[in-house]
Amino acid sequence: MMKVKKSEKKGTSYLGILIALVVLCVALSFASSSFLTASNLLNVSQQISTNFLIAIGMTFIILLGGIDLSVGSIIAVTGLMMALMMKEWNLPVLVSLLLSLVFASAIGLVTGLLITGFDLPPFIATLGMMSIARGAAYTITGGQPIYTFPEEFLAITGRYGGIPIFTILIMVVMFVIAAYVLKYTKYGRYIYAIGGNENCAKLSGINVKKVKCIAYVISGFCCGVAAIVLTSRLDSAVPTNADGAELDAIAAVVIGGTSMNGGEGTLVGTLIGTLIIGIVANGLNLLNVPQGAQRMVKGGIIVLAVIVDVIRRKRAAKIS
């Protein structure tokens, strides 16, 4: 009976955000004649790529009941390091990509060690890392951008027949691997167990610190992949790249139904949440809404999503 109830609850949750997505698309199609054009929808798929890749890693973190505010800064500094490898150090593209993934994962590892080794609250540790990484991004190039990369690197986000094939492929592969880890591996079950009740997880023999540390490495790795995609798409690495990306990623995860308290959520929900955030941003751009107002809208969406989560949890507690 419990399994049936859980699946019904999950299905209802998906239904709600899917309806919201459909209503949003219908509203924007009436508001702007450009919204449902093939070229715009392809633009949306490419524009959401960075946020979706970050949100995959953020899902692991929030499922644990944590937070990662450093993701945007990690993308910026990783993109600049990768640019230096290719442009200044003349390393092969593939070597530069691999070293960049290691670099971003290492930052995630440092964050994880700060949280687990020194018992720092995730908010404080990642806020500090956000400032350190962003400062490093400005320092390593003196605040100057690096641009014009090799053709094989730009091909990662190139369009073939008008479709960003490799970008979509990267998103699909990352999603499938992460979803498999969360659903079918011991590590995934440990994530949910710790997020649901950390003390019980400890008493059951789960190495909580190790699980948390690995989650931040995963988040860092996802930021590394996102840095590759973003830098290739823009054909430039700038210290201000991915500024505010953490807001979009958190919004996507929370809108997708992952509880900020941890222990509940799925990557399917995160995908739908990313689509909603991406379509909202695209629609606001089509309607020429100022950037400041767009940030206000995104902030409001996060608050609303958290309120819905709190109400849902209170109702579930009453039923149980």
pLDDT bracket for residue 320 (50, 70, 90): low
pLDDT higher than threshold 70 for residue 188 = yes
- Structure tokens, 79: 């993109």
Q: What is the pLDDT of residue 189?
A: 97
Q: Quick check: is 160 in a domain?
A: yes
Please name which of 132, 124, 307, 147 lies closest in space to residue 230, comparing C-alpha atoms. Answer: 147
Residue 193 main-chain phi, psi, to 5 deg: -65, -45
The answer to whether position 14 is within a domain reads no
Does residue 247 form part of some domain?
A: yes
Q: How many domains does the chain have?
A: 1
300: Cβ–Cβ under 8 A, 6 or more apart, which residues? none
- In this structure, of 84-93, 113-122, 193-202, 303-312, the range with the lowest mean pLDDT score is 303-312
For residue 57, give its domain range: 42-319
Q: What is the pLDDT of residue 312?
A: 76
- Using a pLDDT cut of 90, give the percent of the chain over it: 76
Q: Greater confidence, 269 or 304?
A: 269
Residue 166 lies in a domain: yes
User: What is the DSSP annotation of 203-240?
Assistant: HTT--HHHHHHHHHHHHHHHHHHHHHHHHHHHTEE-TT
What does the block give as tokens for 281?
């941003």
pLDDT band at 13 (very low <50, low <70, confident <90, very high): low
Q: What is the pLDDT of residues 223-258, one digit of tens each?
A: 999 999 999 999 999 999 999 899 899 999 999 989
Q: Quick one: angle between helices 267-286 and 165-184, nearest 10?
A: 150
CATH number of the domain at 168, please: 1.10.3470
Burial class of residue 107 in the structure, from the number of CB atoms within 10 Å of its CB (0-12 exposed, 13-18 middle, 19+ buried): buried
Q: What is the per-residue pLDDT for 131?
A: 97
Residue 37 lies in a domain: no
Average pLDDT for residues 170-177, to the nearest whole number?
98
Q: What is the pLDDT of residues 27-67, one digit of tens each?
A: 999 999 999 998 899 889 988 999 999 999 999 999 999 99
Q: Is the residue at 107 inside a domain? A: yes
The reply to whether 93 falls in a domain is yes
**Percent helix, strand and coil across the chain, each rounded to 5?**
80, 0, 20
- How much is the mean pLDDT over the chain? 91
Q: Is residue 303 part of a domain?
A: yes
User: pLDDT higher for 133 or 8?
Assistant: 133
Least confident of 178-187, 212-221, 286-295: 286-295
Supply the pLDDT for residue 301: 82
Element (DSSP H or E) covering residue 85: helix 71-87
pTM of the model: 0.92
